[in-house]
Structure 1
């Protein structure tokens, strides 16, 4: 058995020992055990999907698709509604609350698989494995549910509307609820995750038994809100939408449901969600709850947005230095590697952690507006720095190397390469992604090189390459590459020793 499956199985040990009130509903002990096992897998899969969608947006589409395929293959579209009818809503609600500690253990198991950028793509492949095969582990599920066969998909009728839904229900935007949660958590300081979750849930439940939420969805159970520079910090999830169990809507949507859960990492979950028609939504009042900055998180922007003409950006005289620290990253096949990312420290007490363009061609003022999460304010602590980042997080930057501005006309000599990647072969999977580039610099001011990339999976392999050459010029923290066709690139450049260069923010080492 692979380590990743062992970890997930350990984390999925959620089978309940007590169902309050279930016996009164007529369910025997054998049925309860079967239903408990199935519900544990169902809740665990949903929780893992929530976590990965939030933590690793790059793999969200893949994880969502795998989860939806799993729901359909396991015939679980109406499972929670059927289980509620079988054991009673009070018993199911209490059981779901009792699982909070086990879900945190499951989260820990997921984190042991590595960073989200590695574990979440791997999780997508696991949904189709034996680990999440509910029907195989609980072959008597239909009998325990009392359905005797396949679960029908509930229809969008008036009876499917959550109890208490009426014109008195307020419609909140995802951003409004995200802001409410951010403001609720702010005073808690270093409170535990369970304390944060409890405080958020209490605040949400104070809004009413049933709430309505408006936002957008991409045919998933996740309802979000965003613009071109930011996204709501906490999304809203509706897994048991009563009128679209296998085909969630796409685009603008308004739903109504009971608040079931708040997770300070993933977001807000509603129970018994119903998608409202335009006429139904129009009949509800709009909330006037304030939207505050803390309710948003800023999205990564394309580097091209911050390119300006040479000399219109930062001046080398404004830069304190380009420093590197030790961190970890993902390599070819998903292997965890030790990395040394670079940050640009300015004399005005600010720091930027994603240099790509030569400073003189970098629109730092626009960057500070559109991607403040990449900027921080530093104070010196010996040879290291303490940084308070734009998203409110504080950390110590332990300096592992420093680069100063190089004199104009500095010459380079040698071949250098960079390599990056992803995939899951390091976890026993079959997906490998590789990318990189090489440059050969000569003392006469000429260079040659190119970029390459590729991926491989079951029965498929893709590769690409692009070669170039021309002249180069080093000055300060910039490297200007002029191609033979007249094209020009002005990239960030730093040299730490003869064995480590940074070009455009990527590390290059000698190609021996």
Structure 2
């Protein structure tokens, strides 16, 4: 039985009079447009549903949606499709998707409560499940003039947004990010909408057209970063008039009109044009100061913070290790309940990513290079209130306190950790799995290994690595000595007989 959407598209193909302008299109072309629109509406539906049902993940979902729209070059997709099909037809198409959206909602609910399913949705947007450009590679051609990179379209739009050297300054992404950070700082407890309005007003005060320099990394996202940090607010340029589906890579300067500011994601420009080096050289450079608040710090490789035993934290520096309930992504994209542990120190600070044994952890360097992983805690009954280095505040609800073990404690049993990703939980065909096992013997020896695999309809790949040797437990550390003489000193804690923390992972019995 044909769906309402399929029947409507078939009718359009057979009746040229129904097509705006009287130009008939093939059934295949119309089917492709209908498929693209169905995916477009589905992603919007998932976004809106999660924004309503799980405010805690709203920022993550909004940012993922914004990135998806930019990556897929869909900023004006619905408007162009409306011009192609006619607004009445587009309305009928959306109505015909009602049953599909109900099925999508049912699949979302099967992932668990909103607090678990909605964070997973943000990762699924980037999967092949919703990759419209991959499924419909000729979408730009199907949408017709104005959606591609024709010289006429590019020239016309560029004429409207090309900057004049007399009144336009070039801002780096970091400068604009700093300007937004300083605009938001005095607002206190203002709502998200109020923050967005204040940021937009400030940006628009810079001029009708602004120029921005930065680096393109994710299609139309322009950012700025170094080894330690990245701009807090990226710039999104969805409507680049002179590059169509092939935005420039690397260092770029663009000019465009400010369309939107979102305090969770960044700055959006419209009708962007890519400026040549000669055009850029004619513009003055902004003198806006770059401040710390305009940056976010990037995660650093753990190896940066490894020092010799005894040169890191002392046992009497540590208040304790505490765990809280959270969520993570498992094999196939399924949402899992997790219990990550943070290390609380007696000086009132806390670190949320313990990997090395405390005595081999260069905590001073970590505080400098990854301050977002550090916070200051105050007690609130059995819990903690933490002010993190990036400015966020969290109530850390303690689920348990893994205890340090006396030196010489022996372990027994096999334990495993599994992580993953992919999109099979939402009907896709990509599954990623990774993990490891340790088998401990009371005689002080261990064996184990790690594994990784990825599979889809088109590829299957995997790898394994085995090791073994001796172990020694003391306090919050475990020392693993391999048969080849190599040694690792990792963070270690045991909550009960069924839960171990080794390095940055949680291990449970391998039954």
Distance 1:202 1:309 in 2: 52
- Equivalent residue number for residue 269 of structure 1: 268
Task: Determine if contact 2:129/2:423 at 8 Å carries over to the other structure.
Answer: no
Structure 1 runs of 4+ off > 4 angstroms?
38-49, 62-66, 76-80, 109-113, 115-118, 132-136, 138-142, 153-159
Superposition RMSD in Å: 4.2
Task: Determine if contact 1:66/1:124 at 8 Å carries over to the other structure.
Answer: no
**Secondary structure, counterpart of 1:300 in structure 2:** coil
Q: Normalising by structure 1, what TM-score?
A: 0.77
Distance 1:239 1:47 in 2: 21
Correspondence 1:298-317 to 2 at 5 A: 298-317=297-316
- Equivalent residue number for residue 19 of structure 1: none
- Equivalent residue number for residue 189 of structure 1: 188
- Equivalent residue number for residue 152 of structure 1: 150
- Equivalent residue number for residue 451 of structure 1: 450
Q: CA deviation at 1:218?
A: 3.0
**Secondary structure, counterpart of 1:114 in structure 2:** helix
Q: CA deviation at 1:246?
A: 2.2
Task: Determine if contact 1:325/1:401 at 8 Å carries over to the other structure.
Answer: yes
**Secondary structure, counterpart of 1:120 in structure 2:** helix
- Equivalent residue number for residue 6 of structure 1: none
Correspondence 1:75-474 to 2 at 5 A: 114-116=117-119, 118-128=121-131, 152=150, 154=152, 157=155, 160-163=158-161, 165-167=163-165, 168-218=167-217, 220-474=219-473
- When the two structures are aligned, how many residues end up with a matched partner? 445
Q: CA deviation at 1:231?
A: 0.4
Task: Determine if contact 2:64/2:125 at 8 Å carries over to the other structure.
Answer: no
**Secondary structure, counterpart of 1:208 in structure 2:** coil
- Equivalent residue number for residue 24 of structure 1: none
Cα gap change, 1:510 to 1:270, in 2 (>3 Å): same
- Equivalent residue number for residue 12 of structure 1: none
Task: Determine if contact 1:79/1:151 at 8 Å carries over to the other structure.
Answer: no
Q: CA deviation at 1:310?
A: 1.0
- Equivalent residue number for residue 485 of structure 1: 484
Task: Determine if contact 1:78/1:240 at 8 Å carries over to the other structure.
Answer: no
Q: Normalising by structure 2, what TM-score?
A: 0.77
Task: Determine if contact 2:70/2:220 at 8 Å carries over to the other structure.
Answer: no
Cα gap change, 1:155 to 1:303, in 2 (>3 Å): same
Task: Determine if contact 1:154/1:243 at 8 Å carries over to the other structure.
Answer: no
Distance 1:263 1:222 in 2: 14
**Secondary structure, counterpart of 1:440 in structure 2:** strand
What residue ranges of structure 1 are gaps of 5+ in the alignment? 1-8, 10-26, 29-33, 88-105
Q: CA deviation at 1:476?
A: 1.3
Q: CA deviation at 1:286?
A: 0.7
Q: CA deviation at 1:195?
A: 1.8
Distance 2:186 2:137 in 1: 41
Distance 1:418 1:359 in 2: 22
**Secondary structure, counterpart of 2:408 in structure 1:** strand
Task: Determine if contact 2:344/2:351 at 8 Å carries over to the other structure.
Answer: yes
Q: CA deviation at 1:461?
A: 1.4
Q: CA deviation at 1:419?
A: 1.1
Distance 1:420 1:112 in 2: 19
Greater Cα shift, 190-199 or 457-466: 190-199
Cα gap change, 1:419 to 1:151, in 2 (>3 Å): closer
Distance 2:263 2:46 in 1: 14
Alpha-carbon displacement from aligned partner over 1:106-125 (angstroms, at most 9, x marks no partner): 9xx99889355553334542
Q: CA deviation at 1:350?
A: 0.3
- Equivalent residue number for residue 67 of structure 1: 72
Q: CA deviation at 1:407?
A: 1.6
Alpha-carbon displacement from aligned partner over 1:211-258 (angstroms, at most 9, x marks no partner): 111111137211110000100011111112121112211111111111
Distance 1:129 1:254 in 2: 28
